[in-house]
Structure 1
């Protein structure tokens, strides 16, 4: 895995976490959906952890070098 790939995976996971947080927030305001809030929040927290993990991985991987770019 390259640094750029890890960064992209971190971004995707962060987007998933944000989407689930939004769904949890919406569910809080609807009495018929409140039972889903803990599950949505837990799933969002897992995606946030995944995002942090990929971010940490990206931080230790060497910077991706584009062969078409002159140094």
Structure 2
């Protein structure tokens, strides 16, 4: 997997984290506070995945053209 692919996956994971953080906030403020913690935990997991892909991308040479996973 090349740098661009890792950056794309990091972006997608961050999008999921942001979405789940919003759901957690809405649940905490609304009628489902019992749902806030699971949404927040899932969002934290996606944040961790995003950070991992970002760190791998930073460690991958920019001229790496590998396309296989």
User: TM-score normalised to the size of structure 2?
Assistant: 0.88
Q: RMSD of aligned C-alpha atoms?
A: 1.4
Instruction: Tell me, yes or no, if structure 1 residue 2 matches structure 2 residue 6.
Output: no
Alignment deviations for residues 2-43 of structure 1 (CA, whole Å, 9 cap, x no partner):
000000000000000000000011111113x11100000000
1:49 maps to which residue?
48
Q: Choose 1 or 2 for highest CA Rg.
A: 1
Matched-pair contact (CA < 8 Å) for 1:4–1:64? no
Deviating above 3 A after TM superposition, structure 1's stretches of 4 or more consecutive aligned residues are: none
In 2, the alpha carbon distance for the partners of 1:41 and 1:50 equals 14
Matched-pair contact (CA < 8 Å) for 1:11–1:51? yes
